[in-house]
Amino acid sequence: MLSTILMIAAIIFLPRLMLLACNKFSPLRSAGPVFLCYLIGLLLSFAFKRLGADLSLASYISFVMVLLAIPLVLFSANLPSLKKLAGPMLVSFSFDAVAVILVAAAGYFIFRSSVPEAATVSGMLTGTYTGGTPNMIAIGVAVGASESLIMLTQTSDMIAGGIYFFLLLSVLPGVLKKMLPRYKPTGAVGEATGLTQEYDPDKARFGWKTIRSRLALVGLSLLCVFVAAAIAAVLPSRLGNDGMAGIGGRLNEYIAVIMLAVTTFGIALSFVKKVRRAQGSYSAGQYFILMFSVAMGLCFDLSALKGAAMILLMLLFVQFGTVALHILFSKICHIDRDTMLITSTAGVFGPAFIMPVAKALKNDEIILPGIICGILGYAIGNYLGIGLTWVLRLFA
């Protein structure tokens, strides 16, 4: 009993220690708090297993954490600001979304004989490269991916993402300068400060008001999860999970419905100005993702490592295939270099990476549109990823 309590405490408090460590030590910052939380969870799993902790409870906790995280991430999604996007920016981000769907689908047919649950991996990568890590995790949970598969895919994404981010900040802008048109300045730099603070953990404001706001937002997220679960509980079962005794079975049966419902509620509530402007929504959602990561590390099955190389290969194919196809679409439709690169950054990495890429391109005008595209990716990623997984499973 005591070991299980200690395990729960580790899930709750270790993410805070990882965030502090990342802020203090640059090598740890390069690894990222999500990976560190997975790693510390994995290392602690051996100790907790020997102490007799109920590790199956960590799996249930991880499920609840991701359900709570998704609305929190989406509450601050300023979707009404989409009207500020210039036509080429929206077109280019659409190209990124189409490219990742096509390449992820192709990746399934190429790797399905060598990657277990290849349809699931394709769906998770679709959500990742239109939205970000929260989408990958949400899709994995929604379509029934194992804890080990989610962790391996996330770790592979960290490796591939590190390579692409290095290219974005170094040679890729110079290469594309010869292939794509030059960006035409509009003079509309825009006010990106508030959005940058919200989506950059290092710039997030912290204080009593923020804590109080976060507690209220977590309560609202909990309400979203409760309503989504209630909807799933009243749906007719196809597996014989009927009556009050079968509620738990129906919730498991309709987990994808629950995930899509909380996504929809999060988007809907983002249109409420008071919710959207509340401080700390995104960072609170990210903290739940980190708690999820610790819990997933505790559940990791080391035997899954034998398939890690092929998952990494599939992920490299999808990520760089998506970028290549996005470049091709941009070339055909005369999308400029800066617009192509910033929308690719928004899709592959999300809002937090927009600022450094824009600075590398020496173009402050694309910061605000890039962040808005990243927000849009969070909103649509779950629908695209879960939808593609369902379609690809028809070919299994």
**What is the reported pLDDT for 116?**
86
- How far apart CA 74 and CA 266 sit, in angstroms, is 5
Spell out the residues 6+ positions from residue 271 whose beta carbon is closer than 8 angstroms to its own: 79, 80
Tracing tokens 């760089």 back to the chain, one arrives at 320
From first CA to last CA, the distance across the chain in angstroms is: 43
C-alpha distances out from residue 196 to 193, 279, 342, Å: 5, 13, 15
Looking at residue 120, its pLDDT comes to: 96
Listed by start position, the domains of the chain span: 84-284+305-393
Phi-psi region of 280 (alpha: psi -120 to 50; beta: other; left: phi over 0): left
- Overall residue count recorded for the chain in this entry: 396
- What is the pLDDT at residue 198? 56
Q: Using an 8 Å Cβ cutoff, are 335 and 184 in contact? A: no
Which DSSP state fits 185?
-
d(CA 367, CA 363): 8
- pLDDT score for 180: 94
What pTM value is reported for the model? Answer: 0.83
Q: What is the pLDDT of residue 330?
A: 95
Position 42 scores a pLDDT of 87
3-state helix, strand, coil in the chain (%, to 5): 80, 0, 20
Q: Strand (E) positions, 293-393?
A: none
Which positions of the chain have pLDDT values less than 70? 81-86, 186-212, 238-250, 302-305
- List, in order, residues 6 or more apart from 386 with CB less than 8 Å away: 123, 127, 139, 142, 143, 256, 259, 260
Neighbours of 380 (CB within 10 A): 17
3-class secondary structure, 369: helix
pLDDT number for residue 303? 66
